[in-house]
Amino acid sequence: MTGVPLSHFLVLAVALFTIGAVGVVTRRNALVALMSLELMLNGVNVAFLAFARWRGDALANAAVFIVMAVAAAEVAVGLALVIALFRHNRSVDLDEATRMKG
Amino acid sequence: MKDLLMLSPIWLSAMTGILVLVIDLLSARKAPRGFLGYVTAAGFAATGIAAVHYWNGSALEAPFLTGMLALDGFGAFFALLILLSGAAAALFAIDYLPQHGSDRGEYYALMAFSVCGALVFLTAVDLITMFLGLEIMSLSVYIMAAMKQSSARSTEAGMKYFILGGLASAFLLFGIAFLYGATGSLNMVEIGRYFLEHDPTRDYLFPQVAMILLVAALGFKVAAVPFHMWTPDVYDGAPTPVTVFMAGAVKAVGFAVLARLLLTVYQNPAFDEMPVSIPGLLLTLSILTMFVGNILGIVQTNVKRILAYSSITHAGYLLLGGYATMGVAGSSGASVLNDGVPFYLLTYVVSTVGAFGIVSLLGSRGEEDMSLDHIAGLGRRHPVLAALMLVCVLSLAGVPPLAGFMGKFFLFREVLAVDPNGNLPWVVIAVLNSFIAAYYYLRIAVYMYFREPGREPVSAIRGVPGYVCAGIAALLSIWIGLFPARYIAASQEVSRDSALVIATTGDVARPAASRSGKR
Amino acid sequence: MMDALTLKDALFWAFAFLTVGFGLMVTFHRSLVHAALGLMGTLLSVACIYGLLDADFVAVTQIIVYVGGVLILFLFGVFLTRRIDDIEVSNLSVNWMVAVPAGLVLLAVILYAVISSPLPMAPVDATGPTVEGIGNEFLSRYLLPFEVLSVILLAVLVGALMMARRELKPEERD
């Protein structure tokens, strides 16, 4: 049995999620944005598992497993897009993608 | 067996995708792929018939399916909107894709998978299943948005949509995690029941945080204002038939899930005491969305971008409907979606699918540039397309007697009916915004009919399926406007199903569906 | 017993700091290769955190799927899209002035919720390996999501292949 309280795990989860969110929004490099997305999903998974541990529930473990599978699928699509972007721009800089401005 | 039939819309749409893949593989490498569009549309038609026929709200029997999906009239109504947009997106693509040098069979398969995902997303009661549905839909759309490989803008649109969509998915998932943490369940109905049986606001801030995260995530999908940044770029850069799907199906399903999730999970009236309450948040988003969408829409000079901002503005009106929920008599204060919203979505989807679809027919070879100058003189060069476009755009603007007008009229009336005095200022703001929006819609009409064609007049694709689809959309825009009674009745019925019924201890009966109370 | 408790405490703090540190490296380091290495560090430390949460199966899956699969994909991405000659691909951001405060606000709000919510202090007793429970869920309550997952994988497979495959040029198509 761990002596670490639930809130510590949650704080870790939130920290990881926030670092990822800031990375997605700020980093110009598409690959780093993609990596930051993975950080966010890992934060979510830590939160899921911490809650599950305190409830003794196998369902959340299954949910985390599914989230991992989806994350892997997301990365596959993301990298396909990165390669396609690179073909056009010779760069994966999201700001160099200046053909469009919000 | 009954389960299999009830699930048939979901597996029929997935099978359509697989069938398309197999046919694509078997046909000659260099043969045109347009015929797959008909296969897809036929598959969607079968799916739609199955959804209307089998989704009657009865429960699934198999033990592993109980409580996972809600297959009811609410689902059937929005399934039809999704399938209409999906079929239109497949049919418009038949002539569009070869023109733009990316005639690939995979497009139609991905469209079918995306529709399958949207149906799962729409009907899921289990939150992880819901997330999976969202991901199937979104991942397919990201790829379709980027599939025009000759165009850098298309790839960038896909990338941008992917990054921000991934952010939204993570928010949704974190919201789900907090709901799980608060209640120990991943099922919408069970979570709602837990909150009904335990006073949720005194102890927990988790439902509050979860609510904000969920609204933010779904706000991305419906393009509500602080989360709208991607919309113009993605709608503009993506191949136009994909834009048809995004503006139609993705937005409709986003609203449906937003309504069902919030109304089911946050059924306890005590939630109105939250620091950030759901009606307050939705109202703020609604007003922001209307104004920002309109103001930015006015300065646009590109038809696709104008329509993108128009689609943002419509999200604002719809959020106003989401804010004004209605009470149901006999239940423990549970409220349901305002019955103007489903009807409004119907009119919006029909007109916007038509408008974007016609834009897809207008693009000339290769890189498309749909600036307003480009469509100048369209009324003389392509009178049929211009007339259809006029009908769709005027319907979006809300000009009587077209569908869009009836949608706005009915929605605003129902919002007022909920609280005649309190909601009056918001409805006045919404009406004011409709007038502002008329400016850019009429601008499209003026350019089409009263401007001399530029040096490079627009050329149009001549394709039967696209013209037929556009014609149907325009006809429906007129028809629904003239004879709205049936659709309004359907909308009222659908909105009653919007909140899933939670049987709590002591109050097991399904509440009577007649409305009173807040009205 | 006391020793075991403090050991777990120490492990938690160590891995938590590693996780956050490597996470910051992913987000803020200028070099792409360093970011990828940071991601590997984060994923491994998170796997250890999973271990501390008694989620043995998920921890192993994390290592196999993420470190073994996803990370390799990322490295391919890094090497495929990076010009070999400039190793330090600059990727400092422009709008961090807005994003970092916004992130801090998000952090503060959620932290406030976490800290001020009365959470149960003691976890339920450890139940041993979780593999059996997960297997049961996938064959009972979670059969449907498990099946739906296969549609995702199919769609992604088709989509990623389509993006990667070169398109037929119009003249090739005749």
Most A CBs within 10 A among C5, C13, C17, C49, hence the mutation to make, goes to C49
pLDDT-derived band at C9, boundaries 50, 70, 90: confident
Is B389 within 8 Å of B461 (Cβ atoms)? Answer: no
Is B350 within 8 Å of B388 (Cβ atoms)? Answer: no
User: What are chain A's partners, defined as 3 or more CB pairs within 8 angstroms?
Assistant: B, C
State how far the Cα of C33 lies from the Cα of B407, in Å rounded to an integer: 54
Give C134-145 pLDDT, tens digit per residue.
888 888 888 899
Predicted local distance difference test score (pLDDT) of residue C85: 37
Residue B344 structure tokens:
């409004």
Secondary structure letter of residue C125 according to DSSP: P
**Phi, psi angle pair for B260, to nearest 5°:** -65, -40
Chain C within 8 Å of A81 (Cβ-Cβ)? yes
Is B125 within 8 Å of B187 (Cβ atoms)? Answer: yes
Predicted local distance difference test score (pLDDT) of residue B16: 94
pLDDT-derived band at C68, boundaries 50, 70, 90: confident
Predicted local distance difference test score (pLDDT) of residue A17: 92
**Which among C95, C107, C157 is the nearest to A18, CB-wise?**
C107
User: What are chain B's partners, defined as 3 or more CB pairs within 8 angstroms?
Assistant: A, C
Predicted local distance difference test score (pLDDT) of residue B518: 34
CB atoms < 10 A from the CB of B135, how many? 32
pLDDT-derived band at A23, boundaries 50, 70, 90: confident
State how far the Cα of B78 lies from the Cα of B496, in Å rounded to an integer: 14
In the predicted structure, residue A46 carries a pLDDT above the cut 90:
yes
Predicted local distance difference test score (pLDDT) of residue C93: 42
Domain ranges of chain B: 150-496
Q: How far is CA B215 from each of CA B220, B223, C17, rounded to the nearest angstrom?
A: 9, 11, 31
CB atoms < 10 A from the CB of B379, how many? 20
Put simply, the answer to whether B136 touches C148 (Cβ < 8 Å) is yes
Higher pLDDT, C160 or C173: C160
Put simply, the answer to whether C49 touches A12 (Cβ < 8 Å) is yes
pLDDT-derived band at C23, boundaries 50, 70, 90: very high
DSSP one-letter string for B266-296: T-SGGGGGSSS-HHHHHHHHHHHHHHHHHHH
Shortest Cα distance, chain C CAs vs residue A97, angstroms: 14
Kindly list the residues from chain B whose CB atom is less than 8 angstroms away from the CB atom of residue A70. Answer: 131-132, 135
Global pTM reads 0.91
State how far the Cα of A29 lies from the Cα of C78, in Å rounded to an integer: 11
Residue B67, Ramachandran bin (φ over 0: left; ψ between -120 and 50: alpha; else beta): left
Predicted local distance difference test score (pLDDT) of residue C97: 64
pLDDT along chain B (519 residues), means of 10: 87 94 87 88 94 85 83 92 95 88 88 95 94 95 88 84 92 93 88 83 76 92 86 89 94 94 86 82 92 90 90 93 74 74 94 92 67 81 90 92 91 88 89 91 89 72 87 94 91 85 54 34
State how far the Cα of B332 lies from the Cα of B428, in Å rounded to an integer: 32
* Number of helices followed by number of strands (H, E) in chain A: 3, 0
Kindly list the residues from chain B whose CB atom is less than 8 angstroms away from the CB atom of residue A78. Answer: 162, 166
Predicted local distance difference test score (pLDDT) of residue B206: 84
Predicted local distance difference test score (pLDDT) of residue C86: 38
Note the ipTM here.
0.90
Predicted local distance difference test score (pLDDT) of residue B1: 77
Find, among C158, A101, A75, A94, the residue nearest to B155 by Cα. A94
In the predicted structure, residue C109 carries a pLDDT above the cut 50:
yes
Put simply, the answer to whether B166 touches A55 (Cβ < 8 Å) is no
State how far the Cα of B33 lies from the Cα of C168, in Å rounded to an integer: 12
Which residue type sits at A72?
A
Residue B73 structure tokens:
């009239």
Predicted local distance difference test score (pLDDT) of residue B462: 78
CB atoms < 10 A from the CB of C169, how many? 9
CB atoms < 10 A from the CB of B284, how many? 15
Predicted local distance difference test score (pLDDT) of residue C98: 67
> What domains can you pick out in chain A, each with its CATH number?
6-89 (1.10.287.3510)
Put simply, the answer to whether A67 touches B173 (Cβ < 8 Å) is yes
pLDDT-derived band at C168, boundaries 50, 70, 90: low
Which residue type sits at B181?
G
Residue C53 structure tokens:
């949460």
Put simply, the answer to whether B186 touches A99 (Cβ < 8 Å) is no
Put simply, the answer to whether A40 touches B229 (Cβ < 8 Å) is no
Alpha helices, DSSP H, located in B151-250: 152-183, 188-197, 200-203, 206-222, 230-237, 240-245
